[in-house]
Amino acid sequence: MIKMNFRQDSCLPEKVIVPYMRKVLKFLGSMQFALILLLVLAVACAFGSFITQGQTLTWYMTSYGERAASAIMLFGLDDVFHSAWFVVITAFLCLNLIFCNVSRAPGLIRLWKTGFVPEKREKTCGRIYGNTEEDPAKLFSDMGFRKTASGSYEDGTGYRYAVKNKAGIWGAWLCHLGIMILIIGFSVGQMLKTETSVYGVPGQSKRIGDTNYVLSIDQFRIDLRDDETVDQYTTDFTVRNVSNADEMSGTTSVNHPASMFGMKFYQNSTGWAATMHVSKGGEEIQNGVVCVGEVTPIAEVPGLSIIIQAFYPDFFMEAGGEIGTKSSELNNPYYLYIAYYNDRVIGMNALGASEYITIDDLTVWFTDPQTYTLIQITTEPLAKLALAGGIVIMLGLILAFYVQPAEMWARKKDGVWMVTGTSRKGGVLFDRALREKMMQAEIPVHEESSEIPAGESDEAGIRVTENEDVKSLKDDAAPEAQNAGKDAEAH
Amino acid sequence: MGNEVFLSAENILFTVAMIGYFISMILFFVFLAMKNEKAGSFAAYLLSACFGVHTVALVVRTIGAGRLPLTNNYEFATSFAWGIALVSLIFIFRYQFKALGAFSVPVIFLVIGYAAMQNKEVRELMPALRSSWLFFHVSTAIIAYGGFGVSFAVSLMFLLRERMNSSEFWNKHIPDREWLDMVSYRAASLGLLFLTFTIITGSIWAERAWGSYWSWDPKETWSLVTWLIYMFYLHLRIRRGWKGRGAAIFAVVGFICVIFTYIGVNTFLPGVHSYA
């Protein structure tokens, strides 16, 4: 057995592997990787929407051709959103967000605690400058800064400083956190989610999946409008725990699910059902409610089953043999049935209300057509976590887009205030607003690119701050202040 | 169905708004092509007036239909056009940016023209659509699409600005590219914020109506694709070397996704959203 010792062995692992791992970790949390993942996810989603999902190889061969069908099956494009590679990409996105947020958090905390102070702004200031003998506090106020701090530096020069929307620095970070919470909540939620359904007509009781609960359908209503369109589907039902006889009743309708025993009950769909009777030698040996599409075995003859393939409440048949229903009223009910024996079709026909089928010595007929209700029952433990993630994303976006940190700073030298302001995210729009406010206040405006001759007066006759003074503010930008600025805007 | 008098009035108002948007578009073209300031000012005021008429048309349809006009192809298309007009006007007047009209009003006209081709009949809502979440879900989508429409228009201006000379007229009405980039970003971020709200409210509604927050329905999937593309755009903007042209191209790609999500999905990829 070969034992590797990174510390004592040659310098290779220490000097090569560690920096290499560091590079990998850095890449995993980088914006470059995030951009790749966003684009790949977008393309994968587009594929998933263009290729019909969840079909068989035969279906794809018929629809797209043999080669394309093979490629679809090979790359898991028949179930993109549940494929291993899609899950891996999403997991990488999560990793990217985690690495990014963890690496940015210290910088943001530092920025939040110590980044917004006049000493820092002295070193990184904006692109718009103005010089005035008036106190700039009013200009600050006009720019929407409520509080202005005053003080003086060690060299005795006075300053005015104001900051607003500090909370905005957390926007992107919160947005990332929200996406992480949403992805984790949704993914784990999908794994823990249970989903089943119960269908039947009033009076029927059925077990809910493999739980200890039994659902009884008490009543099912279809509310129709005057034009016979459906207004609402409503089911009254009762759920009973068979182990301890706990019982609760509820009502579910479309858009109004019911909750009980940790489960949610949705009014999912409806259809037609009828009572199927089977008799032998004049004696009824089997009867029960069957829904359209439901295969019902005939207990008397193993292997024999019957299915109502379709139901026509107001049946008609045209001369060409085309069949259908004129309305949803039960004026002329007909059942299109198929009889199977050991999975082989042995009979198929449309059966009227007073007609019956004879299979050897058995007689089968249908009565009491009525609508059944289908209730979907789910438990989704982490759904609220995913929703919380969505809310955090919204909060993050609002902070990132509309709470943009901005600062105004002024330094008094030789009786003249040099005023400037900056908002990295506000960019040119902040600069434009500042320029307008300065012009309204009749403060001569200089921009970053402007040449400001040292010691000369501008058009308004106000002494301009020395060029070196302005230049030093830009040039001496402290590394930590620059980093703080990056933190505020980085991925 | 519906109150016929109100629906007839809505039809007239809709037509007036559509013609008005067309004239406004021509005036905006004259403004830029002939460098005619008066035409530009008149176009901006006409756009405001058309937006007013369009708003009244939507209100009248709401009264006539007895519900908000947000539930079928016609209603969503006319509301979509209204959303772009609203965001355009906000940006035109907030940023003194008349030239935007020459790029956004053609989009408004195309969308309202698409609406005019749809069936205007008022139908009763299916049970799944009878939810208070409908208002939040669709109205936020309208603002989102409006934001993306304006971002698309400004990005087009950005790409064309490269080819324009720097005469006083252009400098005044289509400022430098950094400014255009920032305005496009502002519009896209408005769109992204509201699209996020649309997706979240849609998920909540889907859970109540269909029992699942997310089921990869084509409309849901393409909303997510659009969201991812605009997220890509936002990140691209802050990367060195991509701010500006690269970002502008992606804002255009993003709007193509928006249009596909709205029209393409309904046409080619039917799902549970087929009515929208």
pLDDT in tens, A398-417: 999 999 999 998 988 888 89
Which of A403, A199, A366 minimizes the C-alpha distance to A279? A366
DSSP letter at B164 equals S
Q: Of A146-155, A161-170, A296-305, B208-217, which range is least confident?
A: A146-155
Q: Minimal Cα distance from A31: which residue of B?
A: B235
At B271, is the pLDDT very low, low, confident or very high (cuts 50, 70, 90)?
low
Percent above pLDDT 70 for chain A? 86
What pLDDT was estimated at residue A283? Answer: 92
The string of DSSP codes covering A290-334 is EETT-EEE-TTSTTEEEEEEEEETBEEE-TTS-EEES-SS-SB-E
Helix and strand tally (H, E) in chain A? 13, 22
Largest pairwise CA distance in chain B = 59
State which of B105, B124, B143 marks the end of a domain.
B124
Tell me: the pLDDT tens digits for A60-100? 999 889 999 999 998 888 999 999 999 999 999 999 999 99
Residue A6 has pLDDT above 50, yes or no: no
Tell me: the pLDDT tens digits for A26-36? 888 899 999 99
* Contacting residues of A for B228, CB less than 8 Å apart: 38-39, 41-42, 45
Q: Strand A416-422 vs strand A406-413: parallel, antiparallel, or unpaired? A: antiparallel
Q: Could you tell me the two tokens for B152?
A: 């698309």
Nearest to B235 among A35, A229, A429 (CB): A35
Residue A463 has pLDDT above 80, yes or no: no
Q: Are residues B192 and A41, on separate chains, in Cβ contact within 8 Å?
A: no
* Contacting residues of B for A387, CB less than 8 Å apart: 200, 203-204, 213
Nearest to A254 among B124, B209, B236 (CB): B209
* Contacting residues of B for A259, CB less than 8 Å apart: none
At A475, is the pLDDT very low, low, confident or very high (cuts 50, 70, 90)?
very low
Q: Minimal Cα distance from B184: which residue of A?
A: A429
When the pLDDT of each residue in chain B is averaged and rounded to a whole number, the result is: 89
Is residue B183 located within the same domain as residue B257? yes
CA distance linking residue A244 with residue A263, whole number of Å = 17
What pLDDT was estimated at residue A480? Answer: 38
Listed in order, strand segments (DSSP E) in A144-299 are 149-152, 158-164, 194-200, 205-207, 213-224, 230-241, 247-253, 258-260, 263-280, 283-291, 295-297
Mean pLDDT across A429-444: 88
CA distance A387 to chain B (A): 8
Q: Are the C-beta atoms of residues B154 and B103 closer than 8 Å to each other?
A: yes
Q: Are residues B189 and A401, on separate chains, in Cβ contact within 8 Å?
A: yes
For an interface test with A, give the residue of B131, B219, B221 to mutate (most A CBs within 10 A).
Answer: B221
Is residue B149 located within the same domain as residue B184? yes
State which of B80, B100, B124 marks the end of a domain.
B124
CA distance linking residue A474 with residue A123, whole number of Å = 6
Q: Minimal Cα distance from B185: which residue of A?
A: A401
Q: Are residues A255 and B130, on separate chains, in Cβ contact within 8 Å?
A: yes
Q: What are phi and psi of B196, to 5 degrees?
A: -60, -45
CA distance A361 to chain B (A): 45
Phi-psi domain of B35 (left: phi exceeds 0; alpha: psi -120 through 50; beta: other)? left
Residue with tokens 């439901």: A294
Percent above pLDDT 70 for chain B? 97
What pLDDT was estimated at residue B227? Answer: 95
ipTM over 0.95: no
Residues for chain B: how many in total?
276
Q: What range does the domain containing B79 cover?
A: 1-124
Is residue B119 located within the same domain as residue B101? yes
For an interface test with A, give the residue of B213, B214, B265, B267 to mutate (most A CBs within 10 A).
Answer: B213
Helix or strand (DSSP H, E) at A379: strand A362-379
State which of B124, B148, B169 marks the end of a domain.
B124
What pLDDT was estimated at residue A13? Answer: 58
Please, what is the Cα angle at A382 between A378 and A386, to 5 degrees? 115
Tell me: the pLDDT tens digits for A230-285? 899 999 999 999 998 899 999 999 999 999 999 999 999 899 999 999 999 889 99
Tell me: the pLDDT tens digits for A342-352? 989 999 999 99
Q: Are residues B216 and A231, on separate chains, in Cβ contact within 8 Å?
A: no
Q: Are residues A391 and B200, on separate chains, in Cβ contact within 8 Å?
A: yes
* Contacting residues of B for A49, CB less than 8 Å apart: 216, 218, 221-222, 225, 265, 269
Q: What are phi and psi of A30, to 5 degrees?
A: -85, 160
What pLDDT was estimated at residue A108? Answer: 94
What pLDDT was estimated at residue B272? Answer: 54
CA distances from A255 to A267, B29, B210, B211 (A): 8, 48, 8, 9
Is residue B88 located within the same domain as residue B135? no
Q: Could you tell me the two tokens for A175?
A: 């947005």
Residue A171 has pLDDT above 90, yes or no: yes
Q: Could you tell me the two tokens for B96?
A: 């003194």
Tell which wins on pLDDT, B244 or B89.
Answer: B89
Residue A450 has pLDDT above 80, yes or no: no
Query: A192 forms bridges with which residues in the sheet?
Result: none
Tell which wins on pLDDT, B253 or B275.
Answer: B253
Q: Are the C-beta atoms of residues B25 and B107 closer than 8 Å to each other?
A: no
Tell me: the pLDDT tens digits for A113-158? 887 877 766 665 677 888 888 888 889 999 999 888 888 887 788 8
Residue A181 has pLDDT above 60, yes or no: yes
The amino acid sitting at A463 is R
Q: Based on the number of CB atoms within 10 Å of its own CB, is A262 exposed (0-12), middle (13-18) or buried (19 or more)? A: exposed
Is residue B39 located within the same domain as residue B176? no
- CATH number of the domain bearing residue B11: 1.20.120
Is residue B181 located within the same domain as residue B203? yes
User: Using N-to-C axis directions, what is the helix angle for B177-210 and A383-402, rounded to 10°?
Assistant: 160
Tell which wins on pLDDT, A288 or A475.
Answer: A288
Mean pLDDT across B1-5: 71
Q: Minimal Cα distance from A395: which residue of B?
A: B193
Residue A102 has pLDDT above 50, yes or no: yes
Tell me: the pLDDT tens digits for A196-233? 999 999 999 999 999 999 999 999 999 988 888 889 99
Nearest to B239 among A31, A229, A400 (CB): A31
Q: Could you tell me the two tokens for A256?
A: 């109004």
The count of CB pairs under 8 A between chains A and B is 126
Nearest to A38 among B211, B228, B269 (CB): B228
Q: Minimal Cα distance from B179: which residue of A?
A: A428
Is residue B71 located within the same domain as residue B84? yes
Which of B101, B83, B203, B90 minimizes the C-alpha distance to B148? B83
Domains of chain A: 11-105 (no CATH), 116-165+404-476 (3.30.70), 272-368 (2.60.200)
What pLDDT was estimated at residue A353? Answer: 86
Residue A473 has pLDDT above 60, yes or no: no
Number of structural domains found in chain B: 2
Q: A296 at the B interface (CB within 8 A)? A: no
What pLDDT was estimated at residue A458? Answer: 33
Residue A482 has pLDDT above 70, yes or no: no
Mean pLDDT across B270-274: 55
Is residue B159 located within the same domain as residue B274? yes
Is residue B194 located within the same domain as residue B276? yes
Is residue B120 located within the same domain as residue B131? no
What pLDDT was estimated at residue A478? Answer: 37
Is residue B209 located within the same domain as residue B228? yes
Q: Of chain A residues 206-265, which have a CB less than 8 A from chain B?
A: 225, 227, 229-233, 253-257, 264
Is residue B84 located within the same domain as residue B180? no
